[in-house]
């Protein structure tokens, strides 16, 4: 029988094939630059951070004062860190519950390619283009109770001026407002691109079948752009873990450390106070949090979403 | 009663007038095919009937009701798209059921209608699949199923078979014809494929540059084309349209003669010619020849002719089947 003599492909056969078709050499040429950069700028600093986090070290000289897990214990017991984690979670919540729906609503209004929509798209996207520090500064002027827009409003209403950024209860609300304002345009653009890829035929077919605008959005457009929504939520969550340079010019973490996020907490209590070991421990915690979120999200949402 | 009537319909996109002025009646229960070259406005016309486009002027009447300003869903129509337009995230059953669900049809009735459509279209085994897991022909059936369950008075088809391969297209053509017979609904079908038009239609509307060239039964159009355009468009291989002066008919501008109405002979005939290309199809042989002083002539010969390229021969048109056209391309009289 011919089948008895049919040659089976063995591992060396496959290796020879890979070598001859250039895949291995392509990998050998293309992989090292990325691998070297990743090792130099991500893996080594990360390893160093983990190492420093076991020391009480001010950043000068070689760390010698080994303290074990003490830095982690201090962080775990520090109420400001709890506030920072809470604030980060609040940003995640506000991003998902307010920012993303707002972005989707606006995207649905202006996704069609018309000159007017292009103008609106630009207007809504401008905050995202602005540097975070600039945005923070602009809004700190807006919220300024002496000279800012808030002051003018208070004046015109004849009420006493309100210093929102100095208010323990309201400062973080102001911060979240700025964050929503700054990043909704980014999510809107993701949705616009996705909505533009929904075939017009599908929408027309739904219209013929009697779907009203809202039903078309619910049954046709949103299911179609679900992968984009999942990706945008991922960016929102990871972005929330990284919020830093909007808060520094706005509140610098104040008043009374009420508006810190994990990164501003790291910066304030680790870097500016020269507690590099402590800061490194915060960095390691943040890294683990980000990786955990990324892996879980990838596993539970993105693969299913893409399917 | 679902007669469709277009009354002086005009459609312009900005400065571009796609349909200048069109009046057309599609009889109740007919299978009417709108046919014409790309860009002739046939799809636009279908979209105007469906309500997806508003006419710039004129009225659309369905079953005697003026529906010009009505929403597509209120016109008692359904439409099958060229791309099938199936919702990729829904199963076959959900796709078919979608319109009924929107219309809040009772669940039992929905189930019954979906099952009935699935039975008619042989989709019972695929109801739980997503469109991506279906072949082109199956997808097309789902799209048709989605139309059927709504029990519309008028079915609109926008080039529904153009994405299918040749064998499947032939099969689906037969299925559509059977469907029309069993449903007894008005069907309006857009295509640029004149074979589809000839085989499916009770009535063909030949369009060109937004205007109707001729309306009639398939064989009427084939035997008595009113214009040179229709003569050239209907029939495959297309009719030979030869200059009158070249064949001794100075009284007309163009003489049309179908390929099957020309005889070829190696010994004797009216037009000396040379065979250029010979296509042997089995039942027929298509001969592309160059006739002296006349130009290219296509001839359909019955059976398998033993001819080869470069061979001299004589062509003789059947004088009973000449179509004469004036300078404006209008039919002069049947010869």
Q: What is the pLDDT of residue B92?
A: 95
Q: Residue A27: its pLDDT value, please?
A: 85
Query: Measured between alpha carbons, how far is B195 from B181 in angstroms, rounded to an integer?
Result: 19
Closest C-alpha to A210, from B212, B296, B101:
B101
Chain B residues whose beta carbon lies within 8 Å of the beta carbon of residue A226: 89
B195 and B309, same domain (yes or no): no
Q: Which pLDDT belongs to residue A5?
A: 67
Note the pLDDT of residue A154.
Answer: 87
Q: Do B89 and A207 touch (CB under 8 A)?
A: no
Do residues B280 and B325 both lie within one domain?
yes
Please state, rounded to an integer, the average pLDDT across all residues of chain B.
Answer: 91
Nearest-neighbour CA in chain A from B74: distance (Å): 8
pLDDT the model gives residue A282 = 96
**Predicted complex ipTM:** 0.85
Taking 50 as the pLDDT cut, the residues of chain A under it are 1-2, 305-307
Which pLDDT value is given to residue A2?
Answer: 47
CA A14 → CA A9, A18, B313, distances in Å? 7, 6, 62
Contact yes or no for A286/A279 (Cβ under 8 A): no
Same-domain pairing of B260 and B221: no
DSSP B125: G
Q: Specify the 3-state DSSP secondary structure of A34.
A: helix
- Give the range of the structural domain holding residue B85, as residue numbers without chain letter: 4-230
Nearest to B275 by CA among B290, B259, B255: B290
Contacts of A51 (CB under 8 A, 6+ apart): A63, A280
Closest chain B CA to residue A306:
B89
Calculate how close chain B gets to A205, using CA atoms only, in Å: 7
Where does residue B78 rank: exposed (0-12), middle (13-18), buried (19+ CB within 10 A)?
A: buried
Query: Which residues of chain B neighbour A201 with C-beta distances below 8 Å?
Result: 81-83, 85
Q: What is the pLDDT of residues B23-40, one digit of tens each?
A: 999 999 999 999 999 889
How many domains does chain B divide into?
A: 2
pLDDT at A1: 45
What burial letters (b/e) apply to A260-293, b meaning 16+ CB within 10 Å? bbbbbbbbbbbeeeebbbbbbbbbbbbeeeeeeb
Same domain, B186 and B69: yes
Same domain, B208 and B262: no
Q: Which of B79, B88, B90 sits opposite A208 (nearest CB)?
A: B79
CATH number of the domain enclosing B261? 2.40.50.140
Q: What is the pLDDT of residue A22?
A: 80
Q: What is the pLDDT of residues A140-194, one digit of tens each?
A: 999 988 888 888 888 888 888 888 898 988 999 999 999 999 999 999 999 999 9
Spatial CA neighbour of B210 closest among B56, B71, B64, B331: B56
**Closest-CA residue of chain A to B95:** A206
Domain boundaries, chain A: 12-38, 78-306
On chain A, the residues whose CB falls within 8 A of the CB of B150 are 209
pLDDT at A14: 80
B212 lies in the same domain as B281: no
From A217's Cα to the closest Cα of chain B, the distance in A is: 13
**ω into residue B237 within 30 of 0, thus cis?**
yes
Statement to judge: residues B221 and B265 lie in one domain: no
> How many CB pairs lie under 8 A apart between chains A and B?
55
Which residues of chain B neighbour A215 with C-beta distances below 8 Å?
A: 102
pLDDT computed for residue A208 by the predictor: 93
Per-residue confidence (pLDDT) for residue A304, from 0 to 100: 56
Residues of B with CB under 8 A from a CB of A: 50-52, 71-73, 77-79, 81-83, 85, 87-90, 98-99, 102-103, 146, 150
pLDDT of residue A235: 93
Positions in chain B short of pLDDT 50: 334-335
Q: What is the pLDDT of residue A13?
A: 82
* Same domain for B151 and B130: yes
b/e burial code for range B193-219 (CB count within 10 A of at least 16 → b): bbebbbebbebbbbbbebebbbbbebe
The reply to whether B219 and B242 lie within a common domain is no
The CATH number corresponding to A78-306 among 1.10.3720.10, 1.10.472.10, 3.40.50.300, 1.10.101.10 equals 1.10.3720.10
Taking the C-alpha atoms of residue A96 and residue A230, their distance in angstroms, rounded to an integer, is 11
pLDDT at A108: 96
To the nearest 10 degrees (0 to 180), the angle between helices A100-110 and A226-242 is: 140
């Amino acid at each position: 029988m011919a089948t008895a003599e049919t040659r089976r492909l063995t591992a060396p056969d496959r290796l020879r094939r890979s070598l001859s078709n250039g895949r291995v050499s392509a990998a050998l040429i293309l992989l090292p630059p990325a691998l070297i950069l990743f090792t130099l700028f991500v893996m080594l600093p990360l390893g160093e951070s983990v190492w420093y986090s076991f020391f009480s070290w001010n950043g000068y000289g070689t760390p010698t004062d080994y303290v074990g897990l003490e830095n982690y214990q201090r962080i775990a017991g520090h109420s400001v860190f709890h506030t920072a984690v809470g604030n980060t979670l609040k940003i995640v919540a506000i991003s998902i519950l307010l920012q993303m729906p707002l972005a989707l609503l606006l995207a649905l209004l202006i996704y069609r390619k018309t000159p007017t929509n292009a103008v609106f798209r630009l207007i809504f996207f401008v905050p995202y283009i602005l540097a975070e520090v600039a945005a923070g500064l602009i809004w700190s002027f807006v919220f300024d109770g002496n000279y800012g827009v808030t002051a003018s409003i208070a004046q015109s209403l004849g009420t006493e001026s309100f210093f929102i950024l100095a208010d323990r209860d309201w400062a973080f609300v102001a911060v979240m407002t700025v964050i929503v304002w700054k990043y909704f345009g980014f999510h809107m653009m993701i949705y616009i691109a996705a909505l533009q890829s929904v075939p017009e035929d599908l929408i027309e077919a739904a219209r013929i079948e009697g779907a009203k605008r809202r039903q078309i959005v619910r049954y046709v457009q949103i299911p179609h752009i679900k992968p984009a929504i999942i990706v945008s939520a991922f960016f929102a969550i990871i972005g929330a873990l990284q919020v830093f340079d909007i808060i520094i010019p706005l509140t610098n973490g104040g008043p009374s450390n009420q508006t810190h996020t994990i990164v501003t907490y790291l910066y304030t209590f680790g870097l500016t106070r020269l507690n590099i070991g402590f800061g490194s421990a915060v960095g390691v915690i943040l890294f683990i949090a980000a990786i955990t979120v990324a892996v879980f999200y990838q596993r539970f949402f993105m693969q299913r979403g893409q399917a | 009663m679902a007669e469709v009537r277009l009354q002086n319909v005009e459609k312009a996109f900005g400065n571009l007038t796609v349909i200048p002025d069109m009046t057309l009646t599609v009889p109740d229960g007919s299978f009417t095919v709108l046919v014409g070259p790309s860009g002739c406005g046939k799809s636009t016309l279908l979209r105007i009937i469906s309500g997806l486009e508003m006419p710039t002027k004129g009225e659309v009447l369905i079953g005697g009701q003026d529906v010009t300003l009505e929403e597509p869903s209120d016109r008692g129509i359904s439409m099958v798209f060229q791309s099938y337009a199936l919702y990729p995230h829904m199963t076959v059953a959900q796709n078919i059921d979608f319109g009924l669900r929107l219309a809040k049809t009772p669940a039992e009735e929905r189930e019954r209608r979906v099952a009935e459509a699935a039975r008619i279209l042989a989709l019972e085994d695929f109801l739980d699949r997503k469109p991506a897991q279906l072949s082109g022909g199956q997808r097309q059936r789902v799209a048709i199923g989605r139309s059927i369950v709504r029990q519309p008075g008028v079915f609109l088809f926008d080039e529904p078979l153009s994405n299918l391969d040749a064998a499947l297209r032939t099969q689906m053509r037969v299925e559509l014809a059977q469907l029309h017979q069993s449903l007894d609904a008005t069907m309006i079908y857009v295509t640029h494929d004149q074979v589809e038009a000839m085989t499916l239609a009770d009535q063909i509307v030949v369009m060109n540059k937004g205007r109707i060239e001729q309306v009639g039964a398939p064989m009427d159009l084939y035997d008595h084309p009113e214009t040179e355009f229709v003569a050239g468009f209907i029939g495959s291989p297309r009719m030979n349209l030869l200059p009158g002066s070249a064949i001794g008919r100075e009284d007309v501008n163009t003489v049309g003669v179908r390929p099957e109405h020309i005889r070829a002979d190696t010994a004797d005939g009216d037009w000396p010619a040379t065979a250029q290309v010979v296509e042997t199809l089995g039942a027929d042989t298509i001969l592309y020849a160059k006739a002296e002083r006349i130009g290219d002539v296509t001839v359909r010969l019955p059976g398998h002719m033993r001819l080869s390229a470069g061979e001299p021969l004589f062509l003789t048109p059947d004088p009973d089947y000449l179509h004469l056209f004036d300078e404006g391309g209008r039919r002069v009289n049947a010869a």
